[in-house]
Structure 1
Amino acid sequence: MKKIAVLISGQGSNLQAIIDACETGFIPAKIACVVSNKAEAFGLERAKSAVIPTQVFLRQDFANNAEMDNAIGDYLQSMEVDLIVLAGYMKILTAAFTQRFCSKILNIHPSLLPKYAGLNTYRRALEAGDTEHGTTVHFVNEEVDGGAIILQAKVPIFPDDNVEEIELRTREQEYRIYPMVIKWFAEDRLCLKDGIAYLDGKPLPKQGYASE
């Protein structure tokens, strides 16, 4: 059974969806640890409730980002994790870290990448007058919100929507598609080769699969 590490910075709602999916057996893997760069992150409490080991790494305890990421990497290696899942981890990983764990890091981003990389995606979509938004699961590389796209889910934006309504609608899809992609990885159906995502031995299209 594969071991997963989940990196968080806040509430950990995606973490909870992953915990639930592991407990029901939907994801045939074990969460070996939860790592946070914020000591007050509520996601740590979610992990403790599920009896999952937690570890906090604070930026102030290290001389630079490289030292911090190296320490996190050493910890994850000691836990013998097979997959690193970013679930609201609000710190940019160093290139050295992403290269060290190349093909073993997943992220979920609240937009239909490559559109709206970065922050404030819901507001940006609303202000642009978009009629749809969505979320993307992708492999992580040294580029912020870059890496091969695996799966996307779209949600509608209605004329009278506000930011909170778009976020709620998008998060519902996140809780559905992130466990699905992690399941594929745990079942050895999903991998990354030469920067291209493969599912069941076939290369995925540039925009990944569209989830219905």
Structure 2
Amino acid sequence: MGSLEKNIVILISGNGSNMVAIANTAQKEQWHEKLQARVACVISNKPGAEGLASAARMGIPTQVLDHKQFETRDAFDAALQRAIDSYQPALVVLAGFMRILTPAFVSHYAGRLVNIHPSLLPAFAGLNTHQRAIDAGCKVAGATVHLVTADLDHGPILAQAVVPVLPGDSVAALATRVLSQEHRIYPQAIKALLASAEPLN
């Protein structure tokens, strides 16, 4: 690995559709040649996560760190941090990683830890975002890419996409519409961060 390489480590818990979108975009847009950036590893806290097989098919190294094997959240996050840091990451990307991260972990990756949330933050932080948007009578919903801070779902916003909430919308229909936009804006927000980042020494 060259000293100028910008490694991206992606954390997943499920099918990793945003991870796939990012990795596909990285390949298609030649991030390695143009930005000296690559998806170096995909790490899951769930051994059976579908996204692990997707990453392997794309030639991306994978690791499993089963949170159930650790007695405390701190112990898991410390082990996760060691695994991530072995790649000297320029960015750590949360792509459906269903864990609340400890303040020490978040602080360690300050300015390098990115998440996507299925609402137009600061509205509807937390869970059940689509149901809450429908229940509130919102005319629009969407997705937000943001830097992660200790305050859940409230870090600096990097990108947003807006989708309409249609009359009679179901949670599933709205979620599908939002997810298609997540797959568009997440890779582009990461690309912008990589383009603005100084090369790692």
Q: What is the TM-score with the length of structure 2 in the denominator?
A: 0.91
Say which structure, 1 or 2, has more relative contact order (CA 8 Å, 6+ apart). 2
Deviates more, 1:24-33 or 1:157-166: 24-33
Gaps of 5+ in 1: 191-212
Partner of 2:64: 56
**CA offset at residue 189 of structure 1?**
5.8
In the TM superposition, residue 180 of structure 1 has moved relative to its aligned partner by 0.5
1:157-172 matches, cutoff 5 A:
157-172=165-180
Q: Does 1:136 align with 2:144?
A: yes
In structure 2, the partner of 1:127 is 135
Equivalent position of 1:179 in the other structure: 187
| Structure 2 residue 79 is the aligned partner of structure 1 residue 75 | no
Q: CA RMSD in A?
A: 1.3
- The one-letter amino acid of 1:37's match is N
Superposed displacement of residue 26, structure 1: 5.4
1:15 matched to 2:19? The reply is yes
Give the Å deviation of 1:169: 0.8
Q: Secondary structure at the match of 1:169?
A: helix
Aligned to 2:96: 88
Deviation at 1:165, TM superposition (A): 1.1
Determine if contact 2:46/2:67 at 8 Å carries over to the other structure: no
Give runs of aligned pairs for residues 29-40 of structure 1, distance below 5 A.
Answer: 29-40=37-48
Q: Between 165-174 and 20-29, report the one with greater CA deviation.
A: 20-29
**2:47 and 2:92 mapped to 1: Cα distance?**
19
Q: What is the count of residue pairs matched by the alignment?
A: 190
Unaligned runs of 5+ in 2: none
Normalised to the residue count of structure 1, the TM-score between the two structures is 0.86
CA contact (8 A) 1:17 1:179 kept: yes
CA distance in 1, matches of 2:133, 2:28: 35
- Percent identity over the alignment? 44
CA distance in 2, matches of 1:45, 1:32: 15
In structure 1, distance between residues paired with 2:154 and 2:66 = 25
